[in-house]
């Protein structure tokens, strides 16, 4: 059958799907002749179905495109897996695009269960009869979800969790590892019960259950409540306030570390991978559950597979590379990786921002040009600050993979944003027209939308959202020495019209927006740069080992060992600092901006210094054009300027430190 014959909603048999090449089946599988397959989503995008060795799929089970069953998994009769979910939730229409839906090894899906697209389930987890897992839910390994549960969008359930039958978990709920919920537990995320109210937007705050928390049957847990680690809530409770962790805790006898499952990295440099670097850090990172660690590992697998399909090395012609990078971004979008750290209300899949930083380290490890591969990038400004019509226009497109560019820098210098000359003129109908020229703008051709900074008619710095297809935009590309993945150059604005709703926040709030946005963005840049340096480290170490084992060198010299050891320590230390900066930004800490400035500069400096030290150890091959080592050096040099030039960042941090110490001295003397 031809791929084009698969129309949305059409179901075919295993044999028909196999004939079209869209069914990948391992050995010793049992697929009922009555099992059905729906390869196309609402938009007609067709995805394959993968069924691992020893799986069983029962009669009238329906598997949709993008479903992956790990070895030994059983999907019983009448279960539905991987169905794209189209629908409305709190001012957002979910378009019903398909996504990868992954059931780990030896998982069991009981008959009648419904699992929507983008769900990930760990090894050995059981999903009971008639349980509903909505889009982008993640469940860790060896968890047991009883029958008749409803788990709303983007909830995150940890490892070895037990949910007894008949419970309701509201959207974006977090159940950390080893949580136990009795039967009929209800959770609430809405404080005011608002739905489809054009004037008010509900503040949705899901409850959170910390590791080992236990909740008795029939309890109701209200919005925003945290049930602390090992805490015990009696049956039938209505919990309105946080429950502290149980001091002294419960004995965790017999708690086994989950086995390494599909999170193992597929690609490594002589047994190394980004995951090897991250493994010692993960257990000590606050807010990162075992499940998150698993997702980070799985992300590396996904990324490595995509890179093998769409190689982006510097030998690939720039236009082709840019197209491939965009395809990788779209493919990651279907896996929910762009919705990371975006709330479920906005169509994202929630999750801690620190996990995004870990994934950006992984991106850098594979190629610095993947600096936009997770999250919304500069599109976060739209998600956070745009007026409703603009958010509705762009947000679902951004989450689906469209790219946002940011235009700040002008020829007088990017470090002097206060001297911006691009300016708006007001018109009687309330619109403005913007005129000016921006330089060194990345994503020049690829961005679907630009966030442009300019002076408003009152002379205050403001930011507006401009469709990249606007006829008033003119582009003049230049060629950067590094970070060549996206086009780069000058963006001229000729009378570009802005409606009041196109302005981010309020007129005059441009500087505050820039500062808070880059407090979030710079730690991601820092993590990406450190990933680049880590890959160079592993490449050089692997080459030295190979030369040593082949007898080409008698043993590594001291200078090589010292350089490797020093770089290892410096990369790890800077990465921990970048993760701290990310957490400060996430919690809106007043020190987030200083950390963002100082740590971006420090991490990129550390990465540059490590690469400068290490690359000569690989010999002249590291100097050849097209060598990944040479590309790493060029990309890291570009990062000395992109997203803030370093002396200016250190200066900003120094100034902030002086102000902070003056304020505290004044407080002490008062
Ligand atoms: C690959 C890449 C991608 C980029 N992408 C984007 C993008 O998407 N959007 C965007 O807006 N920009 C982008 N940029 C631009 C980048 O943000 C700027 O390079 C950066 O902000 C620094 O600005 P500048 O290069 O104009 O340097 P300047 O601001 O001119 O600074 C140059 C030097 O002059 C110094 N200086 C400034 N003022 C004084 C003074 N009064 N006295 C003495 N010294 C001074 C600075 O400290 C610095 O050392 C990108 C750059 C690169 C390399």
For ligand 1, atom 51, which residue shows the shortest CA distance?
Answer: 642
Examine residue 469 and state whether it is found in any structural domain, yes or no: yes
Phi-psi region of 208 (alpha: psi -120 to 50; beta: other; left: phi over 0): beta
What is the tally of structural domains in the chain? 2
Examine residue 486 and state whether it is found in any structural domain, yes or no: yes
Examine residue 287 and state whether it is found in any structural domain, yes or no: no
pLDDT at 266: 29
Ligand 1: list residues with CB < 6 Å.
405-409, 413-416, 440-442, 480, 483, 488, 638, 641-642, 644-645, 647-648
What is residue 439's three-state secondary structure? strand
For ligand 1, atom 19, which residue shows the shortest CA distance?
Answer: 641
**Which of 406, 521, 532, 641 for mutating ligand 1's site (highest number of atoms within 8 Å of CB)?**
641
Phi-psi region of 248 (alpha: psi -120 to 50; beta: other; left: phi over 0): left
The strand pair at 238-239 and 449-455 is best described as: unpaired
Q: How far is the CA of 442 from the centre of ligand 1 (A)?
A: 13
The pLDDT tens digits for 236-275 are: 999 998 888 875 433 332 333 333 333 333 233 445 799 9
Examine residue 91 and state whether it is found in any structural domain, yes or no: yes
And the tokens for 340?
Answer: 């990371």
For ligand 1, atom 16, which residue shows the shortest CA distance?
Answer: 642
What is residue 477's three-state secondary structure? strand
Q: How far is the CA of 364 from the centre of ligand 1 (A)?
A: 22
Phi/psi of residue 495, nearest 5 degrees: 45, 55
The pLDDT tens digits for 284-325 are: 888 787 767 878 888 898 899 899 889 998 888 888 999 999
**C-alpha to C-alpha distance for 239 and 183, rounded to whole angstroms:** 16
For ligand 1, atom 37, which residue shows the shortest CA distance?
Answer: 415
In our burial notation (b when 16+ CB lie closer than 10 A, e otherwise), range 632-658 reads bbbbbbbbbbbbbbbebbbebbeebee
**C-alpha to C-alpha distance for 379 and 17, rounded to whole angstroms:** 38
The pLDDT tens digits for 507-523 are: 999 999 999 999 999 99
Q: How far is the CA of 478 from the centre of ligand 1 (A)?
A: 16
- Residue 331 scores a pLDDT above 80: yes
Nearest ligand 1 atom to the CA of 411 is 26
Last residue of a domain, one of 444, 473, 502: 502
Q: Do 540 and 566 touch, CB atoms closer than 8 A?
A: no
**Which of 371, 648, 649, 650 for mutating ligand 1's site (highest number of atoms within 8 Å of CB)?**
648
**Which of 412, 415, 522 for mutating ligand 1's site (highest number of atoms within 8 Å of CB)?**
415
In our burial notation (b when 16+ CB lie closer than 10 A, e otherwise), range 563-593 reads bbeebbebbbebbebbbbbbbbbbeeeebbb
CATH number at residue 182: 2.160.10.10
Examine residue 98 and state whether it is found in any structural domain, yes or no: yes
Nearest ligand 1 atom to the CA of 453 is 11
- Structural domain including 66 reads 3-252
Nearest ligand 1 atom to the CA of 408 is 11
Examine residue 460 and state whether it is found in any structural domain, yes or no: yes
Nearest ligand 1 atom to the CA of 643 is 17
DSSP string, 190-251: BSS---S-SS----B---EE-TT-EE-TT-EE-TT-EE-TT-EE-TT-EE-S-B---TT---
Q: Closest by alpha carbon to 360, among 519, 485, 525, 516? A: 525
For ligand 1, atom 30, which residue shows the shortest CA distance?
Answer: 413
Examine residue 23 and state whether it is found in any structural domain, yes or no: yes
**Which of 419, 631, 642 for mutating ligand 1's site (highest number of atoms within 8 Å of CB)?**
642
Last residue of a domain, one of 480, 502, 524: 502
In our burial notation (b when 16+ CB lie closer than 10 A, e otherwise), range 313-339 reads ebebeeeebbebbbebbebbbbbbbbb
Last residue of a domain, one of 451, 468, 502: 502
Helical segments of 254-289, H only = 274-278
The pLDDT tens digits for 391-418 are: 989 988 898 899 999 999 999 999 999 9
**Which of 409, 417, 446 for mutating ligand 1's site (highest number of atoms within 8 Å of CB)?**
409
CATH number at residue 425: 2.40.110.10
Q: Closest by alpha carbon to 568, among 609, 525, 524? A: 609
And the tokens for 603?
Answer: 């991490």
Whether pTM > 0.85 for this model: the answer is no
The strand pair at 156-157 and 138-139 is best described as: parallel
The pLDDT tens digits for 445-485 are: 999 999 999 999 999 999 999 999 999 999 999 999 999 99
Examine residue 216 and state whether it is found in any structural domain, yes or no: yes
Q: Do 476 and 445 touch, CB atoms closer than 8 A?
A: no
204: confidence class by pLDDT, cuts 50, 70, 90: confident
State the chain's mean pLDDT as an integer: 89
């Amino acid at each position: 059958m031809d791929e084009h014959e698969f129309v949305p909603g059409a179901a075919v048999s295993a044999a028909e799907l196999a004939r079209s090449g869209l069914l990948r089946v391992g050995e010793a599988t049992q697929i009922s002749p009555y099992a059905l397959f729906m390869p196309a989503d609402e938009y007609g995008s067709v995805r394959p179905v993968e069924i691992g060795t020893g799986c069983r799929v029962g009669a009238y089970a329906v598997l949709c495109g993008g479903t992956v069953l790990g070895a030994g998994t059983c999907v019983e009769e009448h279960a539905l897996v991987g169905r794209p979910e189209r629908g409305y939730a709190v001012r957002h229409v979910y378009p019903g695009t398909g996504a990868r839906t992954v059931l780990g090894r030896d998982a069991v899906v009981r008959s009648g269960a419904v699992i929507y697209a983008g769900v990930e389930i760990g090894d050995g987890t059981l999903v009971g009869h008639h349980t509903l897992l909505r889009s982008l839910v993640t469940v860790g390994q060896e968890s047991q979800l009883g029958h008749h549960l409803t788990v709303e969008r983007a909830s995150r359930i940890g490892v070895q969790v037990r949910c007894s039958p008949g419970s309701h978990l509201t959207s974006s709920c977090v159940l950390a590892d080893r949580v136990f919920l009795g039967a009929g537990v209800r959770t609430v995320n809405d404080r005011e019960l608002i739905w489809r109210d054009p004037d008010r937007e509900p503040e949705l705050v899901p409850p959170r259950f910390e590791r080992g928390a236990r909740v008795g049957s029939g309890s109701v847990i209200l919005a925003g409540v945290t049930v602390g680690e090992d805490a015990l809530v009696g049956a039938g409770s209505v919990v309105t306030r946080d429950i502290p962790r149980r001091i002294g805790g419960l004995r965790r006898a017999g708690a086994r570390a989950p086995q390494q499952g599909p999170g193992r990295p597929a690609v490594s440099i002589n047994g190394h991978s980004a995951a090897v670097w991250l493994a010692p850090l993960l257990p000590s990172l606050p807010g990162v559950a075992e499940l998150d660690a698993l997702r980070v590992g799985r992300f590396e697998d996904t990324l490595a597979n995509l890179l093998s399909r769409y190689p982006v090395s510097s030998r690939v012609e720039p236009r082709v590379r840019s197209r491939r990078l965009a395809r990788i971004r779209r493919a990651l979008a279907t896996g929910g990786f762009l919705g990371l750290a975006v709330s479920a209300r906005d169509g994202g899949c929630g999750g801690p921002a620190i996990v995004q930083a870990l994934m950006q380290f992984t991106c850098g490890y594979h190629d610095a040009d993947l600096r936009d591969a997770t999250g919304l990038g500069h599109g976060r400004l739209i998600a956070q600050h745009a007026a409703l019509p603009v958010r509705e226009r762009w947000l679902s497109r951004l989450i689906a993979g469209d790219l946002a560019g940011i235009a700040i820098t002008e020829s007088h210098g990017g470090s002097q944003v206060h001297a911006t000359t691009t300016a708006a003129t007001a018109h009687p109908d309330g619109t403005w027209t913007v005129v000016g020229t921006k330089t060194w703008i990345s994503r020049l051709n690829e961005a679907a939308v630009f966030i442009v900074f300019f002076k408003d008619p009152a002379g205050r710095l403001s930011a507006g959202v401009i469709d990249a297809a606007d006829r008033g935009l003119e582009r003049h590309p230049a060629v950067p020495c590094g970070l060549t993945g996206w086009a780069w150059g000058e963006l001229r604005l000729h009378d570009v019209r802005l409606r009041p709703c196109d302005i981010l926040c309020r007129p005059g709030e441009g500087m505050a927006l820039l500062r808070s946005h880059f407090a979030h963005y710079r730690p991601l840049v820092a993590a990406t740069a450190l990933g680049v340096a880590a890959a160079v480290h592993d490449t050089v170490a692997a080459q030295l080992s190979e030369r040593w084992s082949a007898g080409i060198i008698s043993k590594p010299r001291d200078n090589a060992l010292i350089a490797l050891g020093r770089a290892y320590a410096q990369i790890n230390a800077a990465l921990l600092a970048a993760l701290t900066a990310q957490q400060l930004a996430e919690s809106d800490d007043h020190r987030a901006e200083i950390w963002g400035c100082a740590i971006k500069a420090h991490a990129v400096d550390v990465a540059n210094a490590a690469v400068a030290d290490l690359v000569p150890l690989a010999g002249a091959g590291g100097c050849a054009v097209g060598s990944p080592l040479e590309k790493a050096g060029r990309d890291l040099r570009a990062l000395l300027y992109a997203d803030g030039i370093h002396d200016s960042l250190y200066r900003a941090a120094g100034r902030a430190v002086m102000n902070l110490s003056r304020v505290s001295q004044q407080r002490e003397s008062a």
